[in-house]
Chain A
């Protein structure tokens, strides 16, 4: 589904990603872990197409398409979804209006008619129930005055509505209390299928207690330095990142 080869990216001439290799197949859950500043958020932004970053080398291929040729909105139409670490507040744009526009823009790109209002409402109701979101939420401006937990639930609600093929959850667990974490994780698990994939970016094991990864990768200084199964995450939780850093240190 997603194949990344030797990806290098920089911002303002500072290289952040220094040769990333990653392969994500349908049905898989990948976790990318690493200390602050290791390049986790950069990787998710680059996949989603943020223009502040310059891709200097390597390639990203998503379902047969070269991502470098696609604008962020075209990547979304192709099925990529990024759950933001810091969802942006947009005063004056209601959650409903935003979702309706996003869904119908994607449909338009695929040559489909706008979704009938009745179907839209039904889908919203279902997904709201799944994420235990109150109806009043819909008429509020996106993320404006939302608590940390509400912002993240809103991200997963959007994901549920947009039904992406690849969801990248960038530190979705930060700012969540235990209940919200369970609700969000439950939502992600319910939406999971053999046809889609999830990449979870996180510092901590705690989200992975709820969303079980098939693969765990350690990102350090712009490179994936170690990959393993879910046990790697447990090991990191216990021992931190230092032992990996030492492993990486040149001998002598």
Chain B
């Protein structure tokens, strides 16, 4: 039986586990109805035509995984070394032991607590991420009871990054299915940096369906970094929906460097004038891995900006997808939307589908898009080699340089250097790129 069948079979049990306020229950029931009607998308669905879910869905998942344990060392290995607020979840459950919220100037509640009574959470749940035509969001909305609610109050500058670390423990030995929901409210003129990671510490073929709804109020600055460098059997479907109010800045940068299957559905809804959205990413994968980025910027009001820059390096049977949709409504005059997707295929086995999709209904806008697929520049390779730089190092330098502009704007210095060393390692060189 595939995942769809398994879910339908245990739906009453799942609905029962997923608690919440009455208004949440109504939404959950409705979401379940939508999921039952639509099911998981197939490659006939326009948004899924390059990525088949069949290999992911046909596993026998454990829908109610019990929580295992992780060690302090494991947590340390995957967290930032700089001072941070840390929220650790193990197999979906919140781990007080590994988390650190000392003197936090914001509110954190586990999702199930928040959905019990917290008004701000109830006002956020299902308000930004739609369930229609979004099977994974519908499924998550129906059953998700694990995750975080973060509330950054008005005018608060959170000085340290907030880490959201979701671990799958070694205790999971088959294929656990996790549904995580994050609700983040960045109030007026607040400033926040989030570092998010989903990491499987064991060998299981875990599948995580994560939905994050982020509301960025006026004048707020919000940065969110996703590092996806999971073990080779793990699958992740990430649905991140950001709604922005007037004069706000929001960025979600996605660094996809590992895992078996990663689908990122990243959507920005611009709802106030003079706001700016940034989505940058680096994808570097090989060995039968798949990373699919589907982005959407919905420009609904005038005088806003969006910037997308995705770089991809693929080798060895890896498959990449980039589909960037920019929708400019007729009233969204003076929109400035930029989108660029550049890729390098390192061998004949790797493949990539890239598709810019601009739908523009306003007439006074600046919208540009571009995508490139290429190999390494032979002239540049010869130039480097003629200076005594060996083949592997020369390749690494060029690929590294190729990616670098997508690191621009990353405000966490540690993350930057961490990414640099991961990239160097993946390129198989010991070069100090930092001079």
Q: Which residue of A lies closest to B400 (CB)?
A: A92
How far does the alpha carbon of A84 sit from the alpha carbon of B383 in the complex, in Å? Answer: 8
Contacting B386 at CB < 8 Å: which of A48, A52, A93? Answer: A48
Across-interface contacts of A72 in B (CB, < 8 A): 382, 385-386
Q: Which of A1-9, A102-110, A184-192 contacts B (4 or more CB under 8 A)?
A: A102-110
Mask, A48-84, CB within 8 Å of B = 1, is: 1111100000000000000000011101110001101
CA distance A91 to B380 in the complex (A): 10
Of B209-217, B327-335, B387-395, the one with at least 4 CB within 8 A of chain A: B387-395
Q: Which residues in B have their C-beta under 8 angstroms from that of A101?
A: 389, 393, 397, 431
Find B388's partner among A88, A93, A97, A162 (CB 8 Å cutoff).
A162
Q: A73 contacts which chain B residues (CB < 8 A)?
A: 385-391, 394
**Interface residue tally for chain B (C-beta within 8 Å):** 26
Please give the distance in Å from B62's CB to the nearest CB on chain A: 45
Nearest A residue to B435 by beta-carbon distance? A97
Could you say which residues of chain B place their CB within 8 Å of the CB of A91?
A: 401, 405
Which residues of the partner chain B approach A103 to less than 8 Å between Cβ atoms? 388
Q: Is the CB of A105 within 8 A of B393?
A: yes
Whole-angstrom distance between the Cβ of B176 and the nearest chain A Cβ? 40
B404 contacts A by Cβ under 8 Å: yes
- Given contacts A94-B435, A100-B435, is CB(A71)–CB(B385) below 8 Å? yes
Q: Are B386 and A49 in contact (CB under 8 A)?
A: yes
Interface assignment of B379: CB less than 8 Å from any CB of chain A: yes
Query: Do B435 and A96 touch (CB < 8 A)?
Result: yes
Mark interface residues in B398-412 (1 if CB within 8 Å of A CB, else 0): 101110110000000
CA distance A75 to B385 in the complex (A): 9
Contact A109 B398 (CB under 8 A): no
Roughly how many angstroms separate A90 CA and B404 CA in the complex, as a whole number?
12
Which residues of A lie under 8 Å from residue B386 when comparing CB positions? Answer: 48-49, 72-73, 75-76, 81-82, 84
Q: Chain A interface (Cβ within 8 Å of chain B)?
A: 48-52, 71-73, 75-77, 81-82, 84, 87-88, 90-94, 96-98, 100-103, 105-106, 109, 141, 158, 162
Q: List 26 A-B residue pairs with CB atoms under 8 Å apart, sorted by A's residue number.
A: A72-B385, A72-B386, A73-B387, A73-B391, A73-B394, A76-B388, A81-B387, A88-B377, A88-B380, A88-B383, A90-B383, A90-B384, A91-B401, A93-B401, A94-B435, A96-B435, A98-B387, A98-B397, A101-B431, A102-B387, A102-B388, A103-B388, A105-B388, A105-B389, A105-B393, A106-B388
On B, residues with C-beta under 8 Å from A are: 377-380, 382-391, 393-394, 397-398, 400-402, 404-405, 431, 433, 435
